[in-house]
Amino acid sequence: MLKIYIREIREKQDLSQEKLSKLSGVSASHIGYIENGEREPTISVLCKIARALKVDIKDLFKYEGY
């Protein structure tokens, strides 16, 4: 299973959802929904978030096997 790890990266960089929102142009509420697994982000949104976090988009994902 592929899991998105935005929260972990954001917290390691000591960024709030609001700060990440300002840097990425993605609303803080949408970031919260993504981090909580309540919404599936589009590639466009993931690109914006990765750019704001200064990471490669692939770094937002981890594979968790069974």
Does residue 41 contact residue 27 with C-beta atoms inside 8 Å? no
Cβ pair 15, 26 in contact under 8 A = no
The C-alpha atoms of residue 25 and residue 62 are separated, in whole angstroms, by 24
Count of domains observed in the chain: 1
Give per-residue pLDDT as tens, 7-44: 999 999 999 999 999 999 999 999 999 999 999 999 99
Q: Would you call 9 helix, strand, or coil by DSSP?
A: helix
Q: How many CB atoms lie within 10 A of CB 18?
A: 11
Task: Answer yes or no: pTM beyond 0.75.
Answer: yes
* CATH code for the domain in which residue 17 is found: 1.10.260.40
Vertex 60: Cα angle to 63 and 5 (nearest 5): 75
> Which residues constitute the domain of residue 22?
2-63
